[in-house]
Amino acid sequence: MCKVLAIVNQKGGVGKTTTALNLGYALSESGKKVLLIDLDPQGSLTISCGYDNNDNLVTTIASLMAMTMEDRLLPGKNDYILTVGSMDLVPCNIELSAIEVSLVNAMSRESILKAIISELKEDYDYVIVDCSPSLGMLTINALAACNGVLIPVTPEYLSAKGLELLLKNILKVKKRINPSIEIKGILLTMYTERMNLSKEIRSMIETAYGKVLNIYSTHIPKSVRVGESALSSKSIIEFDQKNKVACSYREFAQEVLANDAAN
C-alpha cells in the first residue's frame, strides 16, 4: 500500500523541501519506490532536484491540476514524470500560483491533487508532497490527498507557536474532508544541541504535544553543507554522505519505516 506523506508547515524556511528531498532519497536507498511531488509555486524542490529551468517545463503539477479541474484526460506518465536518481518527480513552476487562485471556484476544489495522485500511486511505496509555506488551497489539497503529515519545526519560539494553528487546520481537514489523515509526527530541524533555546523548545513541544503527537526521536542538526548541497542540486546524502545532516536523514527514514511497519 502506497503511503502519501505531506510535508507541511505554514512557516517558511523550516526545512520542508530539504526534508522532502532527503527523506525521499533515504527511503529510495532502502529500496522503496519514491515519487516526489513539488506543490510549492516557488518550485524549490524541482530546482533542488536539478531542474532549474523549470519555467520551461510544459507539464507540471500546475498543468495536471488545471486539466483535472477541466475534466480533461491526463497525459501519459512518461510525458511529465522526471527522474531524480532512483526517484521520480512531478515538477512545479510559478504557474501553480495561478492554479491556486482558480481552485477557489472549482468543483471539488479540495480533491484535485488527490485525483492526480490516485492515478499515480500504484507505482510507488511512498509519494512525498512538498508544500508551500501557507495554509491555502494547495496545502488543503495536500492534506486531503495524504494519509500522513510530517511537520518539520525549527527550534524557534514562533514556529512552535504556529504549530497550534497548523494542528487546528489539520484537524479541520480530518473532520470535514479526509478522516484517514494521520499526523505522523513532528521533526525538529536545524537543531543546535548546544543552544539552550533548542532544548527549551524541544521540551516545550514535548510538554504541549508529546502525549498526543509523535515527536520523532531523530532530529536534524544544522550544517552549512546543506546549502552547498542545494546549490549543486543534490540531496545532502548524495553530496556528502558522512555529513551529520545526511546521517540524521538516513536515521529519520528508518524511523519513518519502523513507524509505518508498526501500524
Ligand X SMILES: Nc1ncnc2c1ncn2[C@@H]1O[C@H](COP(=O)(O)OP(=O)(O)OP(=O)(O)O)[C@@H](O)[C@H]1O
Enumerate residues 106-165 that contact ligand X by CB under 6 A: 133
- Whether 143 and 173 have beta carbons less than 8 Å apart is answered as yes
Comparison of 111 and 252: residue with beta carbon closer to Mg ion: 252
Q: Is 17 in the site for Mg ion (CB under 5 A)?
A: yes
Could you say which of 28, 44, 111, 147 contacts ligand X (CB under 6 A)?
A: 44
Cβ-proximal residues to 253 (8 Å cutoff; 6+ apart), any chain: 23, 26, 27, 29, 30
Strands 87-90 vs 3-7: parallel, antiparallel or unpaired: unpaired
- Shortest Å distance, C-beta 236 to ligand X: 8
Which is nearer to ligand X, 191 or 209 (by Cβ)?
191
Nearest distance, CB of residue 162 and ligand X, angstroms: 12
Of 228-257, binders to ligand X (CB under 6 A) are 230, 245
16 binds Mg ion (CB under 5 A): yes
Of 37-96, binders to Mg ion (CB under 5 A) are 44
Alpha-carbon distance of 256 to 25, in angstroms, equals 13
Residues 250, 26 contacting (CB under 8 angstroms): yes
- The CA distance from 249 to 92, in Å, is 24
Draw the binding track, 178-217, toward ligand X (x: CB under 6 A; -: no contact). -----------xx---------------------------
Strands 126-131 vs 34-39: parallel, antiparallel or unpaired: parallel
